[in-house]
Structure 1
């Protein structure tokens, strides 16, 4: 368990011409590695990071071209993003991480586990994208818009700031997300995997999340009542409680209660 949850200074890591930014807080085991979604950055995990840092080391990442990370010369594919994060973990000597990905971040961490099984990772997929048969920008944006209708001002402020920071290549980044086929990687994930879905999530429908969980050899689906796709921004506690309970670290909440 961590005794010092203070945030350490953010640092860059460069691999084959692309740079990510990472910051850490807490200490001990396990090491949680947090990977954000399309148009976002590591700051969307602030509340969740604070909770998890009470129980281990937490590393939050700005993928190349997001948050404070510089725009790479070419927009990376999801597979390339996975290789960059895997190279970072190896450079830091991090083994057996607990990856937590949100939205597009679930695609990245799935590819890491499938392409780099030696890392011995466990996965938490929060609101996994992108559903088979719905892989076009207008469908995804419409779903996100419906999901945001009932969200708090905090979600809008954080989300708008991060989308602006994602820069002029957001269209290319969206395309990289949409052409990726995570269902090809799910069966190749050897470790335990938790699919975490907000009950009101318009972006990650229940049927799709069930398919994701069943495609993962050791997958489990848990739903959080009364929240949508951006649940961890507005109130990270229900998600944190379920992640920790799934890991057997704490029993402050179970899979059926908010």
Structure 2
């Protein structure tokens, strides 16, 4: 059975802790409905990378940021979770918190590996989300190996700001020694099989300089989505919502308010 623990006093510990099927995620909430934006980070990251995006989205609804199991302040699971199992955990958390059915709707926002998680939530648990946002979706099938992903990421970092590099380095160190297993789980997942099963409006956001998610792959993602839209943010790379979150937030808000 799911287990929910009340808020904890330490400032750097997620005030919400939720356990399901042997794994635990952490989360924090700010703001108020009617709309809820649930933000899911990428590999090696944690909920704190969404600080800027949460700030810009904050006036438009409740913001929920999660630490997936083994990331940020969430405890490491006994076994590395598949993307599908991670999605089931997140879906159980969403149901426990009562987000589905609120008047403004639930917006699932994933970045990088987080896009794989939210895509599986929407595909495996229809009716939970009203909108999906895929920021820098992985994994391009033409680069489905750790070596190719790393090479693309290094090329992307060459154009990123020192702030992005510093935040990324901090979060990757926090991800711990199990990062290799998590990478294997990410690469084993086939998001292209989930996209056709997402029935809600879905926005694909790509940084114009993102080498991890090239234009051809993002166009392919949109083509696979029954109700997909593509938007590019010039002069941004893979970590577009860290470098300068305002453009991404503006496009997300226009998307959900225009649908």
TM-score by length of 2: 0.91
Q: CA deviation at 1:173?
A: 0.1
Distance in structure 2 (CA, Å) of the matches to 1:147 and 1:109: 23
Where does the alignment leave 5 or more consecutive residues of structure 2 unmatched? 1-12
Distance in structure 2 (CA, Å) of the matches to 1:175 and 1:42: 21
Q: Is residue 49 from structure 1 mapped to residue 54 from structure 2 by the alignment?
A: yes
Q: CA deviation at 1:152?
A: 1.2
> What is the Cα-based RMSD across aligned positions, in Å?
1.4
Q: Hey, what does 2:247 align to over in structure 1?
A: 238
Distance in structure 1 (CA, Å) of the matches to 2:157 and 2:111: 16
Q: Hey, what does 2:8 align to over in structure 1?
A: none
- DSSP-derived class of the 2:238 partner: coil
Q: CA deviation at 1:35?
A: 0.2
Where does the alignment leave 5 or more consecutive residues of structure 1 unmatched? 1-7, 250-258
Distance in structure 1 (CA, Å) of the matches to 2:224 and 2:209: 22
Q: Deviation per CA, 1:210-242: give whole Å up to 9, x if none.
A: 000110000000101111101110110010011
Q: Hey, what does 1:83 align to over in structure 2?
A: 88
Q: Is residue 217 from structure 1 mapped to residue 222 from structure 2 by the alignment?
A: no
Counting only pairs closer than 5 Å after superposition, residues 136-215 of structure 1 correspond to structure 2 as 136-215=145-224
Q: CA deviation at 1:9?
A: 6.1
Q: Tell whether the 8 Å contact from 1:26 to 1:56 is kept in structure 2 after alignment.
A: yes
Q: Tell whether the 8 Å contact from 1:28 to 1:57 is kept in structure 2 after alignment.
A: yes
Q: Deviation per CA, 1:62-107: give whole Å up to 9, x if none.
A: 0000000000000000000000000000011111410110000000
Q: Tell whether the 8 Å contact from 2:107 to 2:129 is kept in structure 1 after alignment.
A: no
Counting only pairs closer than 5 Å after superposition, residues 60-99 of structure 1 correspond to structure 2 as 60-95=65-100, 96-99=105-108
Q: Tell whether the 8 Å contact from 2:210 to 2:236 is kept in structure 1 after alignment.
A: yes
